[in-house]
Amino acid sequence: MTRDRPTPSGFKVILIVFLPFGCGYYLSYLFRTINAVISENLSTELALGPAGLGLLTSFYLIAFASSQVPLGVALDRYGPRKVNAFLLLFAAVGAAVFAAAESFGLLLLGRALIGFGVSAALMSAFKANALWFPADRIPLMNNLIGAFGAVGAVSATRPVELLLHTAEWRDIFGGLAVITVVVSLMILLLVPEKKESGQSTESFGEQLKGYGDVIRDGFFWRVSLIYAFSYTAFVSYQTLWADPWLRDVAGFGQTERANYLLAIQVGFFAGLLLTGAVADLLRRTRFQAVHVFGTGVLLLMGIQVVLALGVTTGLTAI
């Protein structure tokens, strides 16, 4: 049915392509970061220590990361619409399992299913942007997709903490399971199918071999290694360890910690909007998006030095 629709353009593309994929990435980041706020609830109810919390949070990332190589091939072969809509259903099942879990094993299973289910959220959105928007606008549109993730991260802080006053964490995950199904259907039913010009007819195995060309590219290693180390550090704070640090080192209660986590995510959101706008403004100059990214990495390194020195004043600004 979607193939017979006229090709949309302009603002309609924003409404029926960009926004549905943005909502998918919103959920991805909400799921990724919510453990930071409910960690104390999980520790109390299920007697989880720091090691258990770390393992539980890592299962999302392990499932997410391990699916990326076949995911890239699947996106090229089947398109972002079908792949993302299908996988989000796994995330919905994972959220339901997590909500009902009475054992650590089921929590791990639910968390892994969530990670696998949202593994296409970002890359499918980037793929859709590449299909629907001009090349010189892609850095801006990709950063705006990232802003959806930042809003999801913001939603997982103070708003979730407020919900915990009137609902259980299990109720929150049950609601997220329903919302995830709705977003999956939005992507499947609203987003038109659009084939890539000059689409490859290579077999699945031949496409996998194409990763060899990527691995041999020196630019890939220069960018990916910087991104991997810097983003790993940031995500470890953002998704779990900022909350225990604020509790054990800074001595804050749950409400105060949620407020500081909110400040982290608001800064993340603002940074995405700012870097996207700057990269867009500089697109016709000799400066590239990688230069903007490198500046952000240097700032992150400086902040980590400050935290390593045990500074606990001015944390909102930090």
Q: Is the pTM of this model over 0.85?
A: no
Number of domains in the chain: 1
Between CA 310 and CA 295 the distance in angstroms is 24
Q: Does the pLDDT value for residue 50 go beyond 50?
A: yes
User: Has residue 198 been placed in a domain?
Assistant: yes
User: Has residue 262 been placed in a domain?
Assistant: yes
Apex 97 CA angle, 92 and 103, nearest 5 = 155
Residue (of 22, 30, 3, 135) closest to 84 by Cα position: 22
Q: Does the pLDDT value for residue 2 go beyond 50?
A: no
**Residue 121 has what pLDDT?**
95
Instruction: Determine the angle formed by the axes of helices 254-281 and 35-46, rounding to 10 degrees.
Output: 150
Lowest mean pLDDT among 50-54, 105-109, 294-298: 294-298
Tens-digit pLDDT profile for residues 77-97: 899 999 999 999 999 999 999
Tokens linked to 182 = 């709705």
Lowest mean pLDDT among 55-69, 96-110, 131-145: 131-145
Is residue 173 very low, low, confident or very high in pLDDT (cuts 50, 70, 90)?
very high
CATH for 71: 1.20.1250.20
Apex 15 CA angle, 10 and 18, nearest 5 = 90
- Contact partners, residue 3, CB within 8 Å, separation at least 6: 192, 193
Domain span holding position 73: 2-308
- Contact partners, residue 36, CB within 8 Å, separation at least 6: 156, 157, 238, 239, 240, 242, 243, 261
User: Has residue 269 been placed in a domain?
Assistant: yes
Q: Does the pLDDT value for residue 114 go beyond 50?
A: yes
Is residue 306 very low, low, confident or very high in pLDDT (cuts 50, 70, 90)?
confident
User: Has residue 137 been placed in a domain?
Assistant: yes
User: Has residue 315 been placed in a domain?
Assistant: no
Transcribe 125-162 into DSSP letters.
HHHHHHHHS-GGGHHHHHHHHHHHHHHHHHHTTHHHHH
What's the average model confidence in pLDDT over 158-169? 90
User: Has residue 314 been placed in a domain?
Assistant: no
User: Has residue 272 been placed in a domain?
Assistant: yes
What's the average model confidence in pLDDT over 95-123? 95
Tens-digit pLDDT profile for residues 250-284: 777 777 877 888 887 787 777 777 776 776 776 67
Q: What percent of the chain has pLDDT over 90?
A: 33
Tokens linked to 291 = 């230069």
Q: Does the pLDDT value for residue 318 go beyond 60?
A: no
Using CA atoms, how far residue 130 sits from 30, 133, 135, 190, 272, in Å, is 24, 6, 7, 18, 19
User: Has residue 112 been placed in a domain?
Assistant: yes
Q: With 0-12 CB in 10 A as exposed, 13-18 as middle and 19+ as buried, what is 147?
A: buried
